[in-house]
Amino acid sequence: MRAALLQITSSDDPSENLAMVREALRGAVAEGAGFVLTPEVTNCVSSSRRHQAEVLRPEAEDVVLAGLRDEAAKAGIWVLLGSIALKSEPPETRFANRSIMIGPDGGIVARYDKLHMFDVQVTETETYRESEGFAPGDRAVIADCEFAKVGMTVCYDVRFPELHRSLAKAGAQILTVPAAFSPATGPGHWEPLLRARAIETGAYVLAPAQCGQHSVREGRPRATHGHSLAVDPWGKVLADAGERPGMLLVDLDLARVQKARSQIPALQHDRPFAPPT
């Protein structure tokens, strides 16, 4: 299976973002990709709750989701819509940060709402309060795709190894980590975190990322780290997309998952232990 990780610079206009991703997806299909992955908040990067309230829709009305379901069905490919920001069901007033797996008939195979909220003061001038705008999910999800079992995570989730081990123990062979990583933390943390998750689980880690300077109509401007990464089950970086928009193509061989796990069977070596005193 050939996977394509799309690295993009989403704006805060969902229709504009759909047009851009659609073109990139067609390029990936022309290169033989059967599985296309997009970053976190593909439909809208915005720091203005007011603007989000204006342009974001419930899942059934999101233009990016509808457009990519259509593309998936036309091309007969799998698409991981890394995440989209959506209006939640009332009474929840916050948005959902939802990752969606689309099957080759255009149907929705799995949904995962980001579990861990990025409520972090990363530097003196850069603070994120994701949980003010987004309601966190409360369950881990594996998408049972015909070509593989895919454990779904989003961005900040990468810092919580237990989630990834639990997905791997439940059968995930590929872990997806779509992201909009901060430029303050990316240089030091992004790659080692992703490689650690791959080594600990013996799974492929596919991390399509937002990059560059995002144009916003209102609110504070945002920049993201880029460096979409594909890591093999031994922890080797197969490809790095650098800082500009583009695409990574990687050929996945699930026998390598099996091989890494038989060489280092750490997933089977957990032991109960008394808590530290």
Interaction site with ligand KGT (CB under 6 A) = 40-41, 45, 118, 128, 130, 155-156, 159, 180-182, 185, 189
**Residue among 40, 44, 71, 130 flagged as catalytic:** 40
Closest contact distance (angstroms) between CB of 183 and ligand KGT is 8
Q: Which of 87, 114, 130, 149 does the annotation list as catalytic?
A: 114
Burial class (CB in 10 A: 0-12, 13-18, 19+), 5: buried
Residue 149 annotated among the catalytic residues of the structure: no
Helix ranges (DSSP H) in 76-147: 130-133
Q: Classify residue 59 as exposed, middle or buried by CB count within 10 Å of its CB (0-12, 13-18, 19+).
A: middle
Q: How far apart are CA 256 and CA 243, in angstroms?
A: 29
Q: Cβ-closest residue to ligand KGT?
A: 185
Residue appearing with tokens 């089977």: 268
Least distance to ligand KGT, CB of residue 194, Å: 11
Active site residue 71: no
What are phi and psi for residue 203, nearest 5 degrees? -120, 155
Please identify, using beta-carbon distances, which residue of 122 and 170 lies nearer to ligand KGT: 122
Nearer to ligand KGT, 71 or 130 (CB): 130
Q: Shortest gap between Cβ of 126 and ligand KGT (angstroms)?
A: 10
What is the closest distance, in whole angstroms, from the C-beta atom of residue 189 to ligand KGT in the complex?
A: 6
Residue 218's CB is within 10 A of a number of other CB atoms, namely 11
Task: Rank residues 78 and 128 by Cβ distance to ligand KGT and give the closer one.
Answer: 128
| DSSP conformation class of 244 | S
- Let me know if 145 is a catalytic residue: no
Q: How long, in residues, is the chain? A: 277
| Catalytic residue from among 44, 145, 155, 211 | 155
Catalytic residues: 40, 114, 155
